[in-house]
Amino acid sequence: MQTRFCRYKYKSYLCTAFNPRTCDGKFQLEGKSREVAATSADQKRALKAMRKNNEIPAVLYGGEKVSHFTITKDSVRNLVYSPEIFVVELTIDGKKTMAIVKDIQFQPVTDAILHMDFLEVSENKPVVMEVPVVLEGHAEGVKAGGKLNLQMRKLKVKALYTAIPEKLFINVDHLGLGKTMQVGALHFEGLELMNAKNAVVCAVQLTRAARGAQAKA
């Protein structure tokens, strides 16, 4: 099955896939260590105070230990809302770490950033991430009157962070009427697909018009 990567396509701020090889290189970000309160009530008050003070609570995973820290809202604006994706050179109390954004939590009404998770990365340590799927081409089944449905909008991949693209492009030109494309039929160089091999990524479904055409044939 023909597939290809795209490393420089636009990414919305809600995506969970990242392109570390942008032409601008690393995104520099400074954080400040924070204490985790002993009780959930105290922790809730502490987090509320941080956000009121224009700070975002954050956590760094993947290292020898989990690090809790804060960053300012202004410092991550270009990281979160920019179409360019960066590897983050994260400095916490003077210690530098290479990381990528793993997850972002937003306030559902105001869309304000509530929390960010970062994942420490290295050039020889694979990571697992979800990458959006994009279908390209004109399926034969669609030409015959069928409807192309994307059933898996993201695929879970395992690879070195330098090999993970922003999007996975899948060509569907040869997908016939009533046919499906499963994960096991896909191959991307340098990536290991972690989803079940029999999981259906997309399918060309029969429409009423297509059934009518088949009946007349």
Answer whether 0.85 is exceeded by the pTM. Answer: no
What average pLDDT does the segment 123-145 reach? 90
Among 121, 118, 111, smallest CA distance to 81 is for: 111
Q: How many whole angstroms separate alpha carbon 205 and alpha carbon 127?
A: 35
What is the SS3 assignment for 174-217? CCCCCCEEEHHHCCCCCCEECCCCCCEEEEEECCHHHHHHHHHC
CATH T-level topology, domain 127-216: RNA Polymerase Alpha Subunit; Chain A, domain 2 (2.170.120)
Report pLDDT for 128: 86
Report the pLDDT value the prediction gives residue 213, as an integer from 0 to 100: 62
Instruction: Please name the residue ranges forming H helices in 66-127.
Output: 73-80
User: What are the pLDDT digits (tens) for 68-79?
Assistant: 999 999 998 888
Query: What digits encode the pLDDT tens for the residues 28-83?
Result: 899 999 988 888 898 889 999 999 999 999 999 988 889 999 999 999 888 887 65
What pLDDT, on a 0 to 100 scale, did the predictor assign at position 209? 66
Q: Looking at the domain covering 21-120, what would its CATH class be?
A: mainly beta
18 vs 11: CA distance, rounded Å: 8
Instruction: Establish how many alpha carbons lie within 13 A of residue 23's alpha carbon, considering only the half-sphere containing its beta carbon.
Output: 3
What residues does each domain of the chain span? 21-120, 127-216
